[in-house]
Amino acid sequence: MIAEVAGFIESWMGGKSELRSVSVDLNNDTALLIDIPDALCERDKVKFTVHTKTTLTSFQKPDFSVPRQHEDFIWLHDALVETEDYAGLIIPPAPPKPDFESPRDKMHKLGEGESTMTKEEYTKMKQELEAEYLAVFKKTVQVHEVFLQRLSSHPVLSKDRNFQIFLEYDQDLSVRRKNAKEMFGGFFKNMVKSADEVLISGIKEVDDFFEQEKTFLLDYYSKIKDSTAKAEKMTRSHKNIADDYIHISATLNSLCAEDSTPNKKNLEKLSDLFERLRKVEGRVASDQELKLTELLRYYMRDIQAAKDLLYRRARALVDYENSNKALDKARLKSKDIPQAEEHQRQCLQKFDKLSESAKKELTSFKGRRVVAFRKNLIEMAELEIKHAKNNVALLQGCVDLLKNN
Amino acid sequence: MASSADRNPPPFPASEEPQPELSDMAEGDSDEGEDIFVSNSHPASVSRGVSQPEEPADLFSEEATTTAKPNGVHSDDDDLFAEAQADLSSDPSSDSTRKDLSSSSGPPSARSPAALQPTSLEQVPPLTKLLRNPQTPAGNHLHRHLRLPVPICHVLFLFKPKCLNCFGFRFCINVALCVAAGRRRGQGYFRCGCCCHQPRESRRWDECICGLQSIHQGVYFKALMFNSGCEVLCSHSPSFPRVLLQTSLPMFKSKAFTARRRFSDFLGLYEKLSAKQSLHGCIIPPPPEKSVVGMTKVKVGMDDPSSVEFVEKRRAALERYLQRIVSHPLLLQDPDVREFLERDDLPRAVNTQALSGAGFLKMITKASDAVSKMTIKMNESDTWFEDKFQEVDMEEQQLRKLHAVVDSLVNHRKELCMNTAVFAKSMAMLGNSEDNTALSRALSQLAEVEDKMEQLHQEQAGSDFFIFAELLADYIRLLGAVRGCFDQRVRAWQRWQEAQSTLQKKREAEAKLLWANKPDKLQQAKEEIAEWEAKVTQYERDFDRIGMTVRKEVLRFEKEKAKDFKSQIIKYLEAMLQSQQRLIKFWEAFLPEAKAIA
């Protein structure tokens, strides 16, 4: 059964994914247009086809495609993060790993429970499962696409060399991927980062703006993380209910198949109704997931990126302060004063540059966030209304049918 | 009804009656029903030389037997008369009406037998005066007053009377009046509230002008019952449910009364009914099951929502149980049922306890029955029974499956409810920490919307459970009872066959004795043979009777089931519909907020 579904997904050479949940349209800079028109899913791996259309001369061809895997995206992200020059920028968060865990679990359960269900029920559950697989798939494609598009629309990042390599390099990028040592280094860096968090909260801030931003972002991050988790649970309950409707409809069907009493008609109508209701309910669940949960999830990651920026700035400030101290010490000892001064000047410069760009980035981030929230909340509300109206129509129809009989 | 000469108009009891109706109307809920229907003791009609029709057969036979008289009807008329009286007079002022009921009762009162002397009785409805007054046409006056509210008792579940084919509460009053009027004019006709303006025709007393049902005692009752002539309501009170009965049926002493009953009383009633020979073959609705866990929690006094829900679930189940009992024409007649509903204090039904002697006995008989069922196979002459049995079996299985799925739906919805509540809180906190004011407001609004959704989900879960799941559970139990009926029939057959084989043995014994020439024992043998022959005929008749009853019952059950399912499904869907409409409103209220984000 796994092979079946996988095969089905493999044959999904869908068109452009229609679901742009989180970001506003980023492809407004015609100099560099990126999209992911295709994707293949093999077992655990998803192969994306990154297609670029560009008018920039830095590229060899104006129109080209390359296959990429999820790990390649991660490499790109890490490369950007490690670049010193971009320390003052919010690096767009890396796309999360494609997670087919939940549909796969369900598939197992379905396979196990196959004997207890009727044929129709089984087919319906399978359809539902395939739809879910597809939804996860579309989501992951989109998230990767958004990542690239944010890079391409950023004035500085789009010119990054690594980015260009990513877009262009024909061969497999695996040679560039992390080996074990680098993985370990990455792990270590995470430790440092958490130490940074302590650092950042301890440091005294000279600038009000950053002070505010810091408190705000820290607080907001924890809250949004919490909300994301809760929203996920809520969406999952909705999905469970939609599944239950399938079972109810199927059981009602088998009930009235053998029924010869006048009750048969009632049961038939009810079974029909539940079948339609579950479709609506399923869509409610998936829309909610897309508009609300995804929104929260994305901005959670984005805020993490913003926090990272603040950490970098804080570190720069620490460096600057340290250099100040070093300078004082040097002056005291009357040794190496010019180096210390130079060092201090550099630190100051770096810090100032960082602060400036950070300010810009954070302001634009705020604006971006508000716009995205607005768009998604409006869309979610509209979808909820639409689905509820559908439900009302279905229910009213069934009630009328029953009453008239 | 005047057509039957042997019928004396019943004694008009109104003269000796108190005014319970009034007090009901005035105070809204009078528990102590005083005796309106004095002729609650139908045997009262003994005075009229009419026998009390107790046999179930009458209820089903549609022919108007003039002998099997609906004593009920007569007394009914007058009683209802009295009650309509009350309606009329109670409206203006409650107190004066008491006095109004003077003893200027109708002619019948003179003939009231001793049995019709209730205790506290003063007045007579002035309506009698109205009716006797030639200028007042019987119908017109009453129409106005038929809009009076039925005495409302604070109950949670009112089964609204409908005028279904001209039967209904109003029908009772009008019938009574018209009958009374008609009787005195030497005519017999019925008019009902709906077709009161139809031209009079003289029909047999026992046919409604609507031409539908022959109003014969049993059928009349049936009509009344199926159209809420008798409503049974349970008010909420943990472990001591009170049974509230509101009835227009004459056989009950009063129109509306309550009684306190324990859960074991309900079980005891069921035991008594199941044991009755006369009700064999009938589908007796089973009561809800015992639940040790639930009751312990309640007894311990824990106040958590699950024990509240448990009590509510039990209350609703008991209410449906009683409703089903009284909507069964046979069961309503049963004196045990009446006693259950009326008597102030029932003796403790100890034989319903699981660990009692009776409990053990029950288990043993159940086991032996199961064994005998397996060993002796009945040769079925009528395939209808076998087919039906299979159907019932399959249906029960499917219903069980469906019930399990609906249960899981209820659980998931409760989960959704919880998750939504938690999410709403988290969203509220997020909104608080948001620095953009418009967005912050929008997020708080979203939190509120989700809060409201939680409530919606909660209600929907309740409706899922109390309407859908409980309906299925009820019918699973009822199908078990249907199977029980089939089993009873099989057992009757077995008894018959056993009697036949015993008879055969006795005959052989007699033949042997004849051959051995022992005249003294011969006599005894002959007696025994006669006895067993009688038994065989009796059992055969029983078997046939049960067969017929089962058939009728099953058909009635199926009809009732279709009706019940339909009405419950409609209720469930309408509840869902309403909740979805509210959902739309909530989101539509939120939309402008979301659009206002800048």
pLDDT at B55: 36
Six-digit token string for A74: 């991660």
Q: What is the pLDDT along chain A (405 residues), one digit of tens a residue?
A: 444 444 444 444 333 333 334 444 455 556 788 888 888 887 777 888 888 888 888 888 888 888 888 888 888 888 888 888 888 888 888 888 888 887 888 888 888 877 777 788 888 888 888 888 888 888 888 888 888 888 888 888 888 888 888 888 877 766 555 555 566 666 666 676 666 666 666 666 677 888 888 888 888 999 999 999 999 999 989 989 988 998 898 888 888 887 777 788 888 888 889 989 988 988 888 888 888 888 899 999 999 898 888 888 888 888 888 888 888 888 888 877 888 888 888 888 888 888 888 888 888 888 888 998 999 999 999 999 999 999 999 999 999 988 887
**Neighbouring residues of A74: CB distance < 8 A, sequence distance ≥ 6:** A94
Superfamily of domain A1-10+22-169: Phox-like domain (3.30.1520.10)
User: CATH number of the domain that B545 lies in?
Assistant: 1.20.1270.60
Same domain, B392 and B514: yes
How far does B412 lie from chain A, in Å, by closest CA? 6
Same domain, B331 and B390: no
Residues of chain B neighbouring A238 (CB-CB closer than 8 A): 416
A114 touches chain B (CB under 8 A): no
Residues of chain B neighbouring A219 (CB-CB closer than 8 A): 433
Residues of chain A neighbouring B402 (CB-CB closer than 8 A): 248, 251-252, 255
Six-digit token string for B93: 């002022």
Residue B112 placed within a domain: no
pLDDT at B53: 35
Judged by CB atoms closer than 8 Å, whether chains meet at B594 and A377 is answered as: yes
Residues of chain B neighbouring A273 (CB-CB closer than 8 A): 573
Closest partner CB to A399 (pick from B429, B577, B597)? B577
How far does B468 lie from chain A, in Å, by closest CA? 11
Six-digit token string for B479: 């199908």
A220 touches chain B (CB under 8 A): yes
Closest partner CB to A255 (pick from B402, B412, B443)? B402
pLDDT at A387: 93
Judged by CB atoms closer than 8 Å, whether chains meet at A374 and B565 is answered as: no
Residues of chain B neighbouring A398 (CB-CB closer than 8 A): 573
Contact B217, B53 (CB under 8 A): yes
Which pairs with CB-CB distance under 8 Å and at least 24 residues apart come from B555-564? B557/B283, B557/B478, B557/B482, B558/A261, B558/A262, B558/A263, B559/A262, B560/B327, B561/A261, B561/A263, B561/B475, B561/B478, B562/A261, B562/A262, B562/A263, B562/A266, B564/B471, B564/B475
Same domain, B417 and B353: no
How does DSSP classify residue A11? T
Nearest CA in chain A to B425: A227
Residue B348 placed within a domain: yes
A10 touches chain B (CB under 8 A): no
Same domain, B477 and B527: yes
Residues of chain B neighbouring A260 (CB-CB closer than 8 A): 391
pTM (predicted TM-score): 0.67
pLDDT-derived band at B249, boundaries 50, 70, 90: low
Residue B557 placed within a domain: yes
Task: Specify the number of domains making up chain B.
Answer: 2
β-strand A63-69 against A45-54: which pairing, if any?
antiparallel
pLDDT at B428: 92
| Same fold across A1-10+22-169 and A216-404 | no
pLDDT at A389: 93
Same domain, B351 and B397: no
Residues of chain B neighbouring A254 (CB-CB closer than 8 A): 398
Contact A42, A25 (CB under 8 A): no
User: CATH number of the domain that B244 lies in?
Assistant: 3.30.1520.10
Q: Return the domain boundaries, chain A.
A: 1-10+22-169, 216-404
Q: Could you read off the pLDDT of B498-541 as tens digits, one per residue? A: 888 888 888 888 888 888 877 777 888 888 888 888 989 988 89
Residue where one domain finishes, among candidates B357, B392, B418: B357
Same domain, B411 and B493: yes
A64 touches chain B (CB under 8 A): no
Provide the domain limits for residue B281: 217-357
Q: Return residues 325-384 of A near B (CB < 8 Å).
A: 366, 370, 373-374, 377-378, 381-382, 384
Judged by CB atoms closer than 8 Å, whether chains meet at B412 and A262 is answered as: no
Residues of chain B neighbouring A261 (CB-CB closer than 8 A): 558, 561-562
pLDDT at B111 over 70: no
Residues of chain A neighbouring B577 (CB-CB closer than 8 A): 392, 395-396, 399
Q: Could you read off the pLDDT of B41-73 as tens digits, one per residue? A: 333 333 333 333 333 333 333 333 333 333 333
Closest partner CB to A374 (pick from B395, B588, B594)? B594
Closest partner CB to B416 (pick from A241, A378, A405)? A241
State which CATH number among 1.10.8.60, 1.20.1270.60, 3.30.365.10, 3.40.50.800 fits the domain covering A216-404: 1.20.1270.60
**Neighbouring residues of A245: CB distance < 8 A, sequence distance ≥ 6:** A274, A275, A277, A278, A281, B409
Same domain, B451 and B321: no
Judged by CB atoms closer than 8 Å, whether chains meet at A247 and B595 is answered as: no
Q: Which residues pair with B245 in a beta bridge?
A: B232, B257
Residue closest to B281 by CA, chosen among B557, B550, B560, B554: B550
Q: Which residues pair with B243 in a beta bridge?
A: B234, B259
